[in-house]
Amino acid sequence: MSFIRDDFKEILRMVRPHARVLDVGCGEGELLELLTNEKGVDGQGLELSREGVAACLARGLAVVQGDADHDLDNFPTKAFDYAVLSKTLQQVRDPKHVLSELLRIADRAVVSLPNFGHWRVRMDLLTKGRMPETKSLPEPWWSTPNIHLCTLRDFTALCEDLDLRIDACASLVPGKPARQIDPLAPIENWRAENALFLLSRKAEPAPPSTPAPPPGSLFE
């Protein structure tokens, strides 16, 4: 099997077979193809770039060209079981609106993002006085697509403001197994380099539990 991103592995373990999945900011379709092949999902992608759309179509995937900030509004309510936003939330212009829309059009949302509160980021700011460049945030400030970076504390506060339930959360470090965490624990705002969240709405009954994951999954 070719290289699979760490967050993709955990999303694959989480999504139940044959679910309806919308991958927002799907890029060239790697995750959507993985979910289709391994879980038999009924998947659709939303991608802004023409190159990404063309790559998805070449893989035989269902995809539409669109902008997460505006085009999520066009999807029907509860059209999907899962809406996935992988390392994209920090790149949209209105994260609050996008996150709210994900939980309107799907029962559950899967969101992964870099943590700007990670200790390496803090050390770079403290010792160098410049915007950090790390494995998770490799681009210099003047060329990065990230316009709304946040810490775990920022993100959990936004979830609370939107009345969202955090059903699971994992810390992701490149090359290491995912580690289940409590994102509200202050220490995790220092330790987690990247975080993956499984979200649903508090105002609604909890969705049916997914099948038991394989050993080593963060959703045991």
Single-letter amino acid, residue 58: A
pLDDT at 132 (0 to 100): 87
Buried b (16+ CB within 10 A) or exposed e, 151-178: bbbbbbebbeeeebbbbbbbbbbeeeeb
pLDDT at 4 (0 to 100): 78
pLDDT at 218 (0 to 100): 41
pLDDT at 206 (0 to 100): 54
User: What does the DSSP 8-state code read for residue 77?
Assistant: T
How confident is residue 134, by pLDDT bands cut at 50, 70 and 90? confident
Tell me what the mean pLDDT of segment 134-160 comes to. Answer: 91
DSSP SS3 for 53: helix
Share of the chain above pLDDT 90, in %: 73
Residue 74 φ then ψ, to 5°: -85, -10
pLDDT at 219 (0 to 100): 38
Tell me what the mean pLDDT of segment 107-131 comes to. Answer: 93
Contact between residue 46 and residue 26 where contact means Cβ atoms under 8 Å apart:
yes
* Residue 215 predicted with pLDDT over 60: no
Model pLDDT for residues 43-96, shown as the tens digit of each residue:
999 999 999 999 999 999 999 999 999 999 999 999 999 999 998 899 899 999
Q: Measuring CA to CA, which residue among 124, 186, 172, 121 is closest to residue 150? A: 121
Name the burial class of residue 76, with classes exposed (0-12), middle (13-18) and buried (19+) by CB atoms within 10 angstroms of its CB.
exposed
Ranges 141-145, 172-176, 189-193, most confident = 189-193
Distance CA 214, CA 192 (A): 23
pTM of the model: 0.86
pLDDT at 220 (0 to 100): 35
Contact between residue 150 and residue 183 where contact means Cβ atoms under 8 Å apart:
no
DSSP SS3 for 170: strand
Distance CA 71, CA 76 (A): 11
Q: Measuring CA to CA, which residue among 73, 127, 129 is closest to residue 102? A: 73
Tell me what the mean pLDDT of segment 85-110 comes to. Answer: 94
pLDDT at 207 (0 to 100): 55
Mean pLDDT of the chain: 89
How confident is residue 212, by pLDDT bands cut at 50, 70 and 90? very low
